[in-house]
Structure 1
């Protein structure tokens, strides 16, 4: 029972630390280093490098998030990673992406929609919830479990969709991409 409670608390804390509901200011909506001349491949490279470097604000500027409805609540522009993470939130996300890598393959551009084959590799973090109990006495058990996870890697081959919005390419975020980026850490 204690393990289930700990897991529920973990999921709640992790979800809160990764979700940044709300809109950015107009200043924050300005896209950096993107122009109508930036190719879909360059867009992925810049976004994924921003993610590897812990620049979540920049990463979010390259992503198209879908609006979703859960009951009466509407999540619009719900970011996977908050724009201004600091402290434990930033340390948590940086630990998730410490071994992240990617390889961009074939690009198929068709008007305002492009699909790109991408191979994403990250540590397999799908069992971190089982390991968290070992680090119950740590300052942040989740971060310790991630940092001390075995370095088993998982590679996922994906077809990523990019949409041209106002002349700028944006990566369409979906569950498969989220799962691959996070090494299976997020609850399904």
Structure 2
């Protein structure tokens, strides 16, 4: 499993039964971010990772795994800042901003790649739609800074060391998927 973008890992943790994640002192609804109750249910007790892209970061988005895009959808309207101040004091930008959601299946394991638009820009452009993706292959780009949120099913992802609150680069190993939710690990 590789990082799909250059950015800063704002948070990494467990998707709780309360269906919210705590980021910079604010609660955000993963259910609302996904806008799809059926998709959300399979990620309860799984792992979330929030990666913030600043204006200086490389803004291409790449697939974190090799797999089939099984579903994609758009949600939200205008966008508010997604930097640390926007997350702390804003109007729930991770669950309200314009976003493109992709669900990818990799050897029976599902991964959500949510691309959240930044401050009034709403410019998330996909370069692939509903195709098989190779790990590291470009799938889209932001025209200006934004945030990527990864969701993993319960017992399907193990983070690579302590990456929370650290800068990462696209293609950098961020963890491993557990194939078929067992202990057979794949990269």
- TM-score, length of structure 1 as denominator length: 0.26
- Asked which structure has the greater CA Rg, the reply is 1
Asked which structure has the greater RCO (Cα within 8 Å, sep 6+), the reply is 2
Larger % of helix: which? 1
- TM-score, length of structure 2 as denominator length: 0.26
Larger % of strand: which? 2
